[in-house]
Structure formats: C-alpha cells, structure tokens
Amino acid sequence: MKRPLILAGSATLLAIVVAVGATLAVLSKQPRQIYGTLIDDPAPAADFSVQATTGETVKLSDFRGKAVALFFGYTSCPDVCPLTMSTLAQAKKKLGTEGQDLQVLFMTVDPERDTPAIMKRYVTQYDPSFIGLIPTETELEQITKTYGIFYEKEPGSTATGYLMAHTASTIVLDRQGNVRLILNPAMESSEMASDLRVVLE
Amino acid sequence: MITQGTAAARILAVLALLMLACGREQPAGGGPATVQVTGAWARPAKTGDTGAVYFVIENHGGQDDTLTGVTSPVAESVEVHQSTMSGNVAHMAPAQSVAVPAGKSVKFEPGGYHVMLVKLKQDLVLGEPFPVTLQFKRSGDISVQVAVRQQQG
C-alpha cells in the first residue's frame, strides 16, 4: 500500500522540479530589462587623477575590481544632484552585500565654490562611502571633454550666485574599468539597482 | 437728494457684498480660488548647503491663481526654480511665478518645479518638520509644515 503512494509522491515531486527548472531556463534566456543605457561594446574608461574627499589624490583606475558610478554635478545644485545622489544611495542599499562593490564618485563641475570640506560634507550625507572629486579647472576641462560631459555657468540670483547647467547622466564602469552603462536622473532606485546588478555580475 | 444718493450707494454696496458672498459659496461658478498645499517634503540637508522643498498645489476653486513667492525662516533666501532637461543636460532657472489654473493641480517634484532654500541657516534633520509660507496672488499666504524625509522611489 505504501509503495504506490511513495511512487506517486515522487512522480509529483519530479514533475514540480522539471516544471520549475523549465521556467527558470526560459526566464534566464530572456534578455534582462535594462532601464538605463547598456553599452554593448564596452571600452576602457580614460584614466584620470584628481584630488578626492578622502584627503588624497585618487586615480579612477584605483577602483578597479569594483563597479564605479561617476556623476558630474555641484553642491549648490538643489534638485537634480541630490535626486541622483539619493537614488544612487538607495540603489546601493537595495543591492545588499553586492552594493559594497559599488563606488559612487561625485565630481564637481564647480571647483571654484566646491571646496574639499564642502564636498566631503555633501557626498557623505547620502552615503558614508561616497567619494567627492575636486579637479582643478584645467583637469575638469580635460576630463569632461574626454567623457563628453557638458557644463556651463548660467545666471542665477544675488542669493544663489551663478548656477551650473551640466550633463546629469551617471557613467557606470564595470569591475574591469570599462564604460558599461549610463543612468539618467529620472530613474527610480529599483531600476538603477537592477541595471547595476547586471554590471556587477 | 444727498441722503438718497448715499442710501442708494449703501444698497449697492450691500448688494455687491451679497454677490461676493454668493460667489464664495459657489466656487465652480467663478468664486475665489480655493488653494490647498499638500505633501510638502524636503531631503535632509546641512547648514550652509542648499535644500529643496516639494509639494502639490491643488486649486479646487473656480478661479485661476498664481504662486508669486515662498518664504521660510530656515534659509537666507528662498526661490522658486524649475529644472529642465535638454537632452542629458540639466538646466535650472528661477521661476518668477507659477500659474495654478482653476480646477488643476501643479506638482513640485524632483526634476521639475522646486522651492530652493539658499544657504540653510539650520540643518534639515530627518523627522523634524519646518515651516514654509507660499504666497498666492488670490488666496494670499498659505503656511505649511515641511516633512524632512528621504526621497522615495
């Protein structure tokens, strides 16, 4: 009496295992949805060396082994820059332990006003691991040209002083230091996390 | 004649007041704007830095209104700004006024309209609300408490 029951049970179990396996196989074959822009033919990111909020000069290539999210902004920017920094901080949290392999870098396009002290206070309020980069005007000019980043002073009020127009995309490098992904400020943190997971794989 | 004239003027004035009162009870019929400001929030920020306040302005009235300015004791200066994207480039420009048409709502949200708090006089601390006052052409001053929280999404 017991044997047929066990056999039937095993058959059911086997059927479930096969079904789950087949579903997983189908799912894994489907291309993962990308919310930003994934670069199909990743090229090595041009290296640079600038002053950082860690108190030392860092090279972009120092971060090899981690994925790097590089954003260009300025600290008196009230809207798009905090939006992007907050979203990146949340995405990093959503990545869990994988998030430890993501380094966020915020390079100022306003080195005239963004001192290392201001930069440090600014970036670490989003996540203590975030690093601010403070290039000289000449370094900034060169780096932004290489990366296709636009920045320009725009008139503001007496209180704000000048404002900066700037490219608001985040450039993501994979662990090997290739430019792999572009994120935009309109993305939600879950979307950024999903894209970053692809780069971290 | 003079007395009669004054009486007539008084009647007219009373009638005018009555009409205004009627108007007030019928917002859909062209009465004064009934503006509400809801969901005000800001991210935490440090003294000396720049902050941003977001909210929704709803005009339930029958008349258009205009936001002409915002004040707050927490910053040296308060301005209404609008972020716009041209391609991948973010621009920001001060907005002198923001129209709030009758029956419509206007969203102040990241990447769009926002109130810029210039040079904060105090830290904006998570969970500690602070006041702002919105000035409207028709509805006058409306004060709201701004929740300090992390952005969602």
What is each CA distance from B103 to A15, B35, B99, B100, in whole angstroms? 59, 10, 12, 9
SS (H, E, C) chain A: CHHHHHHHHHHHHHHHHHHHHHHHHHHHHCCCCCCCEEEEEEEECCCCEEEECCCCEEEHHHHCCCEEEEEEECCCCCCHHHHHHHHHHHHHHHCHHHHHHEEEEEEECCCCCCCHHHHHHHHHCCCCCCEEEECCHHHHHHHHHHHCCCEEEECCCCCCCCEEEEECCEEEECCCCEEEEEECCCCCHHHHHHHHHHHHC
Q: If you average pLDDT over residues B83-100, what whole number do you get?
A: 94
Place of tokens 């998030």: A99
With H, G, I as helix, E, B as strand and everything else as coil, classify residue B129.
Answer: coil
Alpha carbon of A61 to those of A21, A50, A57, A176, A177: distances in Å? 41, 12, 12, 9, 7
CB pairs < 8 Å spanning A and B: 98
* Contact with chain B for residue A87, Cβ under 8 A: yes
Give pLDDT, residue B87.
92
pLDDT band at A174 (very low <50, low <70, confident <90, very high): very high
A115/B contact by beta carbon, under 8 A: no
Sign of CA dihedral A48, A51, A53, A58: positive
**8 Å CB contact between A172 and A68:** yes
Q: Are B47 and B111 in contact (CB under 8 A)?
A: no
A13-28 pLDDT per residue, tens: 666 666 666 665 555 5
* A101 CB burial (10 A radius; 0-12, 13-18, 19+): middle
- Is A90 in CB contact (< 8 Å) with chain B? yes
pLDDT value at residue A32: 81
Question: What is the pLDDT at residue B23?
Answer: 39
Q: Do B50 and A78 touch (CB under 8 A)?
A: yes
Q: Which residues contact A84 (CB under 8 A, 6 or more apart)?
A: A71, A73, A168, A170, A185
Taking the Cβ of residue A40 and every Cβ of chain B, the question of whether any pair is shorter than 8 Å is answered with: no
Q: What is the arithmetic mean of pLDDT over A98-120?
A: 97
Q: Do B92 and A169 touch (CB under 8 A)?
A: no
Burial pattern B11-38, b for ≥16 Cβ within 10 A else e, equals eeeeeeeeeeeeeeeebeeebbbbbebe
**Of the candidates A121, A126, A116, A118, the residue with the CA atom closest to the CA atom of residue A69:** A126
Does residue B9 register a pLDDT over 70?
no
Q: Which pTM value belongs to this model?
A: 0.81
Q: Which residues of A touch B92 (CB under 8 A)?
A: 77-80, 154, 163, 165
Q: pLDDT at position B33, please? A: 55
Chosen from A79, A83, A90, A162 to mutate, greatest number of chain B CBs within 10 A? A79
Helices H / strands E in chain B, number of each: 1, 10
Mean pLDDT of the B31-56 span: 91
Q: Are A122 and B118 in contact (CB < 8 Å)?
A: no
Judged against a pLDDT cut of 80, whether residue A9 lies above it is answered with no
* CA A147 remoteness from chain centre: 15
Q: Is the pLDDT of residue B13 over 80?
A: no
Partners of B65 in the β-ladder? B100
**Predicted confidence (pLDDT) per residue in B130-141, tens digit:** 999 999 999 999
